[in-house]
Amino acid sequence: MGMLGKLALGVAGTGMALAVATVAVGPRMTDWYEGHHREQANYSTGSAAKASQRTVPAWLPDDASAVRFLRSTTTEDSLLRATVPGGRLPAGCTPTERKTGAAHPGPTAKDRPGAARLKAGWFPASPAAEVSGRCGHYSVVLSGDQLFAWQDGASARAAGQGGTAPRR
């Protein structure tokens, strides 16, 4: 085998090794990256969540329980799940307008934002079709006494709010 053949074999072998490494390591690197750019926590109450995490929205009721919060530090997208007393929207939130007389009116186009981009096992895969209201820059779905809320950080920044505004 000549020098050119050995060089070609070396390049092919290196390419194969890189391909195998990408398949084996690529998903782990993605998981590592996402895990290092996310803040996630559980709290017993809304007041504990707001006291511990400045990016938890102020509209979350203090007496909410079983609070779960996930936030991307790179995109400012957020997910929130909580049990809310009485299964009502929190104070200051705006319910989705429904057409009267329609059997299944669904949300209007302005009230139907895209689905949450973050994913968590405790959050529904596609809650956008059932939006119950808006709380600040969060879309909210109520299912019994369970509140599911998500924020698109890019939309919040575009609206001039810079994502989840810290409380003072």
Cβ partners under 8 Å of residue 59, min gap 6:
90, 91, 92, 93, 135, 136, 138
The amino acid sitting at 159 is A
- Between 112 and 15, the higher pLDDT residue: 15
Are the CB atoms for 83 and 69 separated by under 8 Å? Answer: no
pLDDT at 128: 58
pLDDT given for residue 47 in this prediction:
97
Its sign, for the CA torsion 66, 45, 87, 149, is negative
Reply yes or no on whether the pLDDT at 78 is more than 70: yes
Q: pTM of the entire structure?
A: 0.65
Report the distance separating Cα 164 and Cα 168, nearest Å: 13
pLDDT digit string (tens) for 96-144? 875 444 443 333 334 445 667 888 999 988 765 678 999 999 999 999 9
Q: How many percent of the chain have pLDDT more than 70?
A: 68
159 — pLDDT class (breaks 50, 70, 90):
confident
Find how far residue 105's CA is from the centre of its chain.
Answer: 26
Token pair 């969060």 in the structure block, residue? 138
